[in-house]
Structure 1
Amino acid sequence: MAGISLSWVSVHALRVSLSPNRLLTNFFHTGALACDVPAHAYTYSWEGNPHWSRAYVGAEELYKYYEGRTEVYGVAESVRLNQHVTKAQWDGESGRWTPTINKEQDGTTLTDEAEIISSMLRAFSSMLVMVHLII
């Protein structure tokens, strides 16, 4: 994964049994991976990290960088956990998706709207991500 871009979008991660700040845990098991390119390539262009410990950093250091950005930019507040999409209906008039979402905690169902729905079943282990573009 050559960098992660969650910047100018609001992301609702559905059906994930992780805390918001641990959304990327599957990618960053300590010692499981390291940069294959210099670490600065994994940073946001407007917020580099001049404090990398070495050019090709390990998973733990990458994880801490992204966890910090999650907190700074308030991404965690947009993440809804332990929910899954049971249906997604396209509305051609509005140009938006209307997903039906089941909340696993109490079994209630709700609907939402999204401009983009992206299936990331392999990347985030049984998760569907709705992206609300910020224009």
Structure 2
Amino acid sequence: MIRAALLLSAVVCFLQPFRASATGQAAERLVVGRDTMQLFALPLATADSAVLARLEKRLDELDASGSTACWRRCIGVWRLDDEGILWLECVNTEDGDVVFSGAELVPEFAAGSRARAGWFSGEIRYGTGNLVYYQHDGFMRNLERE
């Protein structure tokens, strides 16, 4: 009888509605002029599947560990030039070890050691300064200057 009551209690607990939430993610890095800012976009997510497979393979080879704050296991370093062109400088592990230069990862868009983000046509949001709003989910945060 006690087992049945415990089992029933456990089932009832799992059937109760609950709100799922995700973890706030580490931002990519964006260099604009002399400033390094947080980039709240993932331009690599829209890259060709072969590029993404090459990145995943290298991360596995390096045994790159992710965390709840960086599910993608890597952080891109990007540059926005004076003409408004977005460049991938490199991709690093969460610990800062280089995984690929931009040119190595996306050779079809290479110029020197970096790669022009020619596959990406979305909007980017970036900023710097103190945190003024934070929600524990993805890039749901605002900085003083965006």
- Same fold, TM-score > 0.5, yes or no: no
Max Rg structure? 2
TM-score by length of 1: 0.25
> Which structure features the higher share of strand residues?
2
TM-score by length of 2: 0.23
**Relative contact order, CA 8 A, sep 6+: which one is greater?**
1
